[in-house]
Amino acid sequence: MDQPETPEQTAEHIRAAGSASFGSEVHGDTAGDRWAAGDDGRAYGFETLAIHAGQDPDPTTGAVVVPIYQTSTYAQTEVGVHRGYEYSRSGNPTRTALETCLAALEGGRTGLAFASGLAAEDCLLRTVTGPGGHVIVPDDAYGGTYRLFAKVLQRWGVDHTPVPLGDLDAVRAAVRPETALIWCETPTNPLLGIADIAELATIARAAGARLVVDNTFASPYLQQPLALGADVVVHSTTKYLGGHSDVVGGALVAADPALGEELAYNQNAMGGVPGAFDSWLVLRGAKTLGVRMDRHCANAARVVDLLCSSPVVSAVLYPGLPDHPGHEIASKQMSQYGGMVSFRLRGGEAAALEVCRRTRVFTLGESLGGVESLIEHPGRMTHASVAGSQLEVPSDLVRLSVGIETGDDLLADLERALDLG
C-alpha cells in the first residue's frame, strides 16, 4: 500500500502531470486542454468537445481513440520521479481523458470519475460536510441518494431536510446555520419535478452554502448547471453519458479549482475510482451524447402525446407539457425536455404493474439513459428504499426511459400495453 498524501502533495502531483499523453493533468482539469480552452478566442461546440476534449491522438502511435491503459502501476525514471502517473488508483491516463472531457462538457474546471454515481456522491458529501452538518434535499430524490443520507450519513451526524425544491420559500425556511449544501435534482427522479437552478444558487450563496446539482436526467447536452451558478455537478455516468447500459460509473465536476483539489484528494484517499476499461466505455458513450439526446427527446415527445390521449392514464409527468408546474423554468434552463417520462394509471397499482408486464419493446428493468427503452415501477423497484418515508412515490406510477428505437415501434408497444380493457 502506498504512503498517505497530504492535500498539498496531491495538488503537487496534479500540477506535475502536464506531460501526460491524454488530458492536461492526472485528474481532469480543463485549464491546459486546448479543446476546452478554445481556439483563437472561439469556444468549441458541445459535440466537438465531446469528441476531442482530453482526447488528442496518441503521441506514440497516432491512434485517434484514447487507449485503454490497463495497468495498475507505472515505471519511474528515478525514485519519486515519474511521468505524471504512479499508481492507477491515484490516476490513469484513460481516466484522465474521461475526466477532462466531462469537465469540458459541463463547463467546469475539474472533473473526477468514480466507480458509480453513489461513490461520487459519497466522496462529495464527506468532503464538504461532516458531523453536525445539514443538507437540504429534494422531497422526491433518487432512492439511492436518499438511502445514503438517511441510512449512512445520518449515523455519521449529518442531518438532512427533504423540501420541495420548486418552492423557493420552503427552501429558504429550511436553511439552518449549519446548512452546508442544497442538493438539487432537476428534473427529479421519478416525478420529473423542476427546480430553478439560478434561484437555488442565490439562496445557497446567501446562506454560505454550496449548491450541488445532479444533472443525470438532463445530461450536460440539455442543461449546464455550473453556468447557472451551481458549485458542483453530479452524474451517474451509467445513464445518458455512458448511454449503452454496459458500464456503471459516476462523476463530479467542480467550478472551483480549490474545491476540485479537495475532491481529488478524497477521490484518491477513498479509492472509489473506475477502472481503465469502464472509463473508456463512458468516454466512448459521451462522444455520441448529443445525437442520442436529440433522438431520446424526439421519441419522448411522441410518447407523451400518446399517453396524454390514453383514457387509462390519469396524469403524465413531463416538463415539456405546458401545464407542468415547472414548464416555464425548464424552458429557461434546458434546451430540450429530456427522454424521461412518468405517468400514473387510473386503475391504481394493479394497472401500473400490468402495464409494466405487457410491454415488449420497452424492457422491464431498472436504470435509464441507454439506447434501449426501459419501463419500471418505481415504488417496487428503484424507489423501494423510500417506502414509508416522506419521499415515498405513488403506487400507481410508471417510469419510462425512452430510448432511440424507431418511434412508431415504441408507440405501438405502449398502445398494446395500455389496452387494459
Query: What CA–CA distances, in Å, run from 71 to 44, 86, 91, 127, 272?
Result: 32, 10, 11, 28, 17
Q: pLDDT over 70 for what percent of the chain?
A: 92
- pLDDT recorded at residue 390: 79
CATH number for the domain formed by residue range(s) 290-418: 3.90.1150.10
Cα–Cα distance for residue pair 98/114, rounded to 1 Å: 11
The pLDDT score that the predictor gives to residue 31 is 67
360 pLDDT tier (thresholds 50, 70, 90): very high
pLDDT of residue 1: 47
Catalytically annotated residues: 89, 142, 214, 239
If DSSP codes are grouped into helix, strand and coil, which group holds residue 78? strand
**pLDDT for res 25:** 53
- Using one digit for the tens of pLDDT, what is the confidence trace for 18-48? 333 344 456 778 766 788 777 666 789 999 9
- pLDDT(118) > 80: yes
- pLDDT average, residue stretch 155-171: 97
Per CATH, the number for 7-287 is 3.40.640.10
**Grid coordinates given for 200:** 437555488
Q: Which of 112, 26, 9 is nearest to 69 (CA)?
A: 26
Decide: 236 and 216 in contact? Cβ < 8 Å.
yes
- Percent of the chain predicted with pLDDT > 90: 85
Average pLDDT over the chain, rounded to an integer: 92
pLDDT computed for residue 41 by the predictor: 67
Q: Is the pLDDT of residue 100 over 60?
A: yes
> Which tens digit of pLDDT belongs to each residue from 317-338?
999 999 999 999 999 999 999 9
Q: What is the pLDDT of residue 421?
A: 66
Q: Count of residues for the chain?
A: 421
Q: How far apart are CA 80 and CA 1, in angstroms?
A: 15
185 pLDDT above the threshold of 80: yes
CB 388 within 8 A of CB 345: no
Q: How confident is the model at residue 7 (pLDDT cuts 50, 70, 90)?
A: very low
In angstroms, the Cα distances linking 388 to 15, 159, 163 are: 48, 19, 16
> Which residue(s) pair with 378 in the sheet?
none
**Residue 309 burial (CB < 10 Å; 0-12/13-18/19+)?**
exposed
Supply the pLDDT for residue 413: 98
Contact 119, 274 (CB under 8 A): no
Of 47, 49, 27, 50, residue with least CA distance to 284: 50
Model confidence at 243: pLDDT above 60? yes
Residue 316 has pLDDT above 90, yes or no: yes
Residue ranges of the domains in the chain?
7-287, 290-418
For the beta sheet containing 374-376, the strands, ordered from the edge strand earlier in sequence to the opposite edge, are 313-317, 340-345, 397-401, 374-376, 363-364
